[in-house]
Structure 1
Amino acid sequence: MAVPRMLWGKYFQYERDGEAVLLDPVALDSVFIDSGEVHDLAGVPPTTTHEALAGLGFTPGGPEADRREALHDRLRLLGLDRTPRRISGLRVVLTDRCNMACTYCFVDTNSGKPDLTKEELSDGLEFLFEQNAGHEEVSIQWFGGEPTIRFDLMRYGDQLADDLSDRYDVGRVRRTVVTNGARLTGEALDHFVAYEYGVGISIDGPPGINSAHRLLLGGQPADDRIRRNVARFIEADGLHVGCNLTPTAANIGRLADTVRWIIDDLGLKFIYVNTPIPTAGRWQVNGADLARELYEARQAAFTRGGMLFSVLDRAFQALDTRRPMLFDHMQGDRTLNAALLPGNRVSLCDINFTEPSFLHTLDELRVDPGLLTGVAKKVAPMPECGNCPALAICGGPSRNEQALIGGSTPDPEMCAFYTSTVEIAVWDNTGVQ
């Protein structure tokens, strides 16, 4: 990816084969200019192109404001707030026991720690529904370890959620489970169908790729078993089944082929690609390469009638709506997904179960809802963020990423990823799926 040049100290100018796109990194306005207009723009103003751009709001005049402050002003103007309103969803961590030993898992599995108890599950669900009394929806995601190991708790929790939904006048309970797909009983499958589950199956690719980082505890691959269970999920009526794909050293360079295999061979049409998490204090992948690969994988999914979602779509959505897409710790309605953990604890970050600043008891959250600000993102924490074309799409590392990298300085590969996604989006700009 070429580094864009600045126009008038205000706009990023991306050039390719004599043509260009101008991007306002705060307002997220963009405009395409052809080769003749690029040449005209280099002339002494006012040229025809200068006048045409001025008509679209691209002008050289006005004070050169600090872009970070300008972004904060725009967030206030749009009524966008980084503070969560309430917890509307729980990722319920039933157990850390797992039948697999994936090398990159962000959860410390099979540690011998106690599972969630029925009493803890009851208290957590009661909290969730009381916080959302009279609202349209709550979400419950069963998680582990491998959550199906404690299917008894899932069944108990779903029955309780129905009772709580009636008691607190909640319109709908959205249920999902994240599973490795290596174990599935007929009883569990019938239950998932009855409750119209969304099922996310973690698969990294064909057996040669999947077995690089995902093996059973005994060291053998589970791919044949997973494939059979995927077929059972797909054949069941009423389920929404998709794939959770994690970029790893085994599939980077082959993501598009991996997506084709998931759609053509497994029959899964919905693919969600996880964002790299700097669990070792830094990103483990090349950011620019990952952005390009996600774009290629996205196109591969489209051509096969599938849908692929990743952080790349954040750039498409931002440019399509002209609204910053910064607050990845919140849902679109400014509510929060948190993690319910064994030991009567809640993590405000549903993918970080150990950071002390995220951990609270249910009673603490009831007494002081202001604690939710503990996960709120500090937008553009460094002066250098103001010189980034991804300012209104990335906005700097999240609180979780800051905790993992030990500071507010973004990982260079994270920066490369977001700046590359912006360049891809301004040239393609096909909008969202």
Structure 2
Amino acid sequence: MTWARSRYLLLGDTEYRDGAGRTVRMAYSARDAAAFAVDADTAALLARGDADAIAAIGADGLSDLAARHAVVDTAEDELGAVLAGYRAASDAPGARGVTIMPTSYCNMACDYCGQEHFKAPVDRARVERVVARVEAMFADPEVDEVTVTWFGGEPLLALRVVRDMTRRFLAAAGEHGKRYRARLVTNGSLLTPRTLHELHHDLKVAALEVTIDGPQAVHDRRRLKRNGRGSFHRTVAALARAVRERTVPGLRIGIRMNVDETNEDDVADLLVDLACFGLASPQVEVHPMPVHSWGNDVSAVELEARRYARREAEWLRLARRLGLGFPAMPNVVKRTTCAATSRRREILDPSGRVFACSEHPLVPGAEATGVVATVDGLADSAPRPAGQFDDWYDQVGDGKQQCGRCPLLPVCGGSCPKLWREGHRPCPSVKFNWPERLDAVARGLGYRPVGAG
């Protein structure tokens, strides 16, 4: 067998002393979503990358590197293997994903949001149709688990609907012996300790994503409720109490920060505030995210990708010093790029329309063109019809998208097919700041740069 360096291996330049005193460099295998140390001599040979250099690593070293997908058989089509994995996971009938929008209304009016919100009465017939579809998924003998994501608008404005639907979903899961998973995306303004307890223990929400855009003054300016009141203190206090009192110990809490030119200088202060409130916990992760076009024009405040990545590297270092959860490198190989690239995943809006892409419902223009079906028109648990982006992996494989040449494809999947086709480049920040992120991994392991005092 002849070995070659994997196209999905990233190799840092900085040399460190590890705990045993060896000189090492950090490496990252995107095919395994794992960072690891490589002795300096082996790293130098991997950096050269030619056949003679790889052969010089030796059988034992190559065996270890092959187990990490850092080197591969030259006969393997790596891009084809990665795309085959995406296709297989996207088409696998055992796992179904449904994003349900229980309401079209939001109690905030953030200026960077592309959705158009409005009040509408609960359509009980529509609720029954949605419940029947999810119940049919549980009854399908090919299905092992169903994951429901509650999305908005603001889903907590329709908590009664979430309760009613969840009760039916849990009953169906129990009847058929299937797994039920739930997550909820919220602006956080309606969170209380009691609500958090109900969401996790009664409604089986395992993961919560809450948006906080800065310290109190900044967040309350950017994400002001329609009644003119802010929500920072209520939101953070509820989360902090739940973490401190361990009332929802199994709930994974993600704090999303939407970042643009108007608040990039406030992210560090928010990180300090979160740590001071007691959110430096293994239960909590912070996720800064650059604001991007969502059917609306945010070009006046959108941060250039490399500039954002430089700032994010600063926030990563600070978060690590504060003890906040901030993933240094992607730690999960993606199963599918997003809901839009798998017919086993779908988004159901408040009127019973079915979408493939989560950025189509409630978005003027995209809402009209993105509908792939209605709940009434789908038979039992049949996968949704093909949407605009179900051919994404074919495009990547054919070279029509530059993602096929990216070393991060296994953990990124192309990020957002919709943005690529609209002429935006949605590459994740790790594409531009992975050396600094690998340095953070090394520091976390206690490694010291060679020559450091």
TM-score by length of 1: 0.71
Residues 1:194 and 2:209 are matched in the alignment: no
| AA in 1 matched with 2:400 | M
Residue aligning to 1:285: 303
Give structure 1 stretches of 5+ with no counterpart: 1-6, 319-324
3-state SS of the aligned residue for 2:107?
coil
1:289-319 deviation per Cα after TM superposition (whole angstroms, max 9, x unaligned): 434544554555555554335xx643x445x
Residues 1:242 and 2:249 are matched in the alignment: no
Residues 1:366 and 2:379 are matched in the alignment: yes
1:72-87 → structure 2 map (5 Å cutoff): 72-76=80-84, 80-83=88-91, 85=93
3-state SS of the aligned residue for 1:94?
coil
Residue aligning to 2:137: 131
Residue aligning to 2:21: none
* Distance of aligned partners of 1:288 and 1:230 in 2 relative to their CA distance in 1, 3 Å threshold: same
Q: In structure 2, what is the Cα distance between the partners aligned to 1:94 and 1:307?
A: 30
Residues 1:119 and 2:133 are matched in the alignment: no
* Distance of aligned partners of 1:38 and 1:118 in 2 relative to their CA distance in 1, 3 Å threshold: same
* Distance of aligned partners of 1:88 and 1:202 in 2 relative to their CA distance in 1, 3 Å threshold: same
Structure having greater relative contact order (Cα 8 Å, sep ≥ 6): 2
Tell me the CA shift for residue 22 of structure 1: 7.7
TM-score by length of 2: 0.68
1:268-417 → structure 2 map (5 Å cutoff): 269=281, 270-273=284-287, 275-276=289-290, 277-279=292-294, 280=296, 284-298=302-316, 300-309=318-327, 313-314=329-330, 316-317=331-332, 325=334, 327-329=336-338, 336-353=344-361, 354=363, 355=366, 356-357=369-370, 359-366=372-379, 369=383, 371-372=385-386, 374-376=388-390, 377-378=392-393, 380=396, 381-382=399-400, 384-403=402-421, 406-407=422-423, 411=425, 414-415=426-427, 417=429
1:4-23 → structure 2 map (5 Å cutoff): 15-16=13-14
| AA in 2 matched with 1:245 | R
Residues 1:181 and 2:188 are matched in the alignment: yes
1:99 corresponds to which of 99, 107, 110: 107
Residue aligning to 1:142: 150
Q: In structure 1, what is the Cα distance between the partners aligned to 2:37 and 2:193?
A: 55
* Distance of aligned partners of 1:382 and 1:79 in 2 relative to their CA distance in 1, 3 Å threshold: closer
| AA in 2 matched with 1:183 | L
Tell me the CA shift for residue 360 of structure 1: 1.8
Residue aligning to 2:159: 151
1:222-270 deviation per Cα after TM superposition (whole angstroms, max 9, x unaligned): 3334344445655583462624312312442454542332232253731
Give structure 2 stretches of 5+ with no counterpart: 17-23, 446-453
Q: Say whether the 8 Å CA contact 2:191–2:234 is kept in structure 1.
A: no
Q: Say whether the 8 Å CA contact 2:240–2:277 is kept in structure 1.
A: no
Aligned length: 401
- Once superposed, what is the RMSD of the aligned Cα atoms? 4.8
3-state SS of the aligned residue for 1:201?
strand
Using the aligned pairs only, state the percent identity.
Answer: 18
Tell me the CA shift for residue 71 of structure 1: 0.2
* Distance of aligned partners of 1:118 and 1:70 in 2 relative to their CA distance in 1, 3 Å threshold: same
Segment of structure 1 superposing worse, 338-347 or 69-78: 69-78
Segment of structure 1 superposing worse, 210-219 or 75-84: 75-84
3-state SS of the aligned residue for 2:147?
strand
Q: Say whether the 8 Å CA contact 2:344–2:383 is kept in structure 1.
A: no
Q: In structure 2, what is the Cα distance between the partners aligned to 1:13 and 1:184?
A: 43
| AA in 2 matched with 1:149 | L
Q: In structure 2, what is the Cα distance between the partners aligned to 1:306 and 1:51?
A: 42
Residue aligning to 1:3: none
1:66-100 deviation per Cα after TM superposition (whole angstroms, max 9, x unaligned): xxx64024543898454464772332212222222
| AA in 2 matched with 1:371 | P
